[in-house]
Amino acid sequence: MGNLPLSRYQALFISGLLLLFLSLASPWWLKLNGVSPSWVVLWLLPWAVVEGPLAGALAGFGIGVLLDSLQGSGLTAVPVLVLLGLWWGQFVSSRRPLERSTTLGLLALLGSLLLNGSYALQLYWRGQSAFAAWQLSLAQALFTALLAPMICSLLVLFWRRRSLRHGR
C-alpha cells in the first residue's frame, strides 16, 4: 500500500472548498425538480461520524462560517452545524454503532430538517415570512436522506481509511 496522496486535513479542506463551489453553482443536473440535497449535511455527517464530536463540531463551525459568508441575508447556520457535529460525533464510540447505512439516512434526514428549521426560526424572529420554503425544506430533507446511504457510506469508508493510515 503506497502513501495516500492527501492527508485527511488536506482532503477535508479541499472537499469543503468543493462544497462551497457546489452550493454557489447549484447545477441543474444535481437537482431533482428544482430541489438540491443539503450538501453540507452530506459532507459533515461522515466526517463527524468517523472523527468524533470535537472534530465534527470544529468542521461544522468552519463550514458554517463559510456558508454564512455566501448567504447574504444574515441568517446563520453555525450553531446548528456545530450541534450536529457534536451529535454525529457521538457515533464514533463503539457504544453507539452505526448499525446500517439506513442509520446514516435517518441522521441526514434529521440534520437537514434541523438546519432548515434553524433558518425558519431565525426568519420568524426577524418577522419575515418564507412559508413556501418549508415545502422545499421537506423535499430537501427527503432527497438528502435518500442520497445519504449512498454518498455518506462511501465517504465514511474514505475518512476511515485516512484516519487509520495517519493514526488517531
**Footprint of other proteins (CB under 8 A):** 23-26, 34-36, 71-75, 116, 119-120, 123, 126, 128-133, 136-137, 140
Are the C-beta atoms of 109 and 45 separated by less than 8 Å? no
Q: How far is the CB of 122 from other proteins (least distance, A)?
A: 9
Nearer to other proteins, 12 or 40 (CB): 40
Q: How far is the CB of 136 from other proteins (least distance, A)?
A: 5
Are the C-beta atoms of 66 and 23 separated by less than 8 Å? no
- Among 142, 80, 83, residue whose Cα is nearest residue 109: 142
Helix axes 39-51, 78-89, angle to 10 degrees: 40
Nearer to other proteins, 1 or 132 (CB): 132
Q: How far is the CB of 43 from other proteins (least distance, A)?
A: 17
Are the C-beta atoms of 43 and 63 separated by less than 8 Å? yes
Nearer to other proteins, 11 or 133 (CB): 133
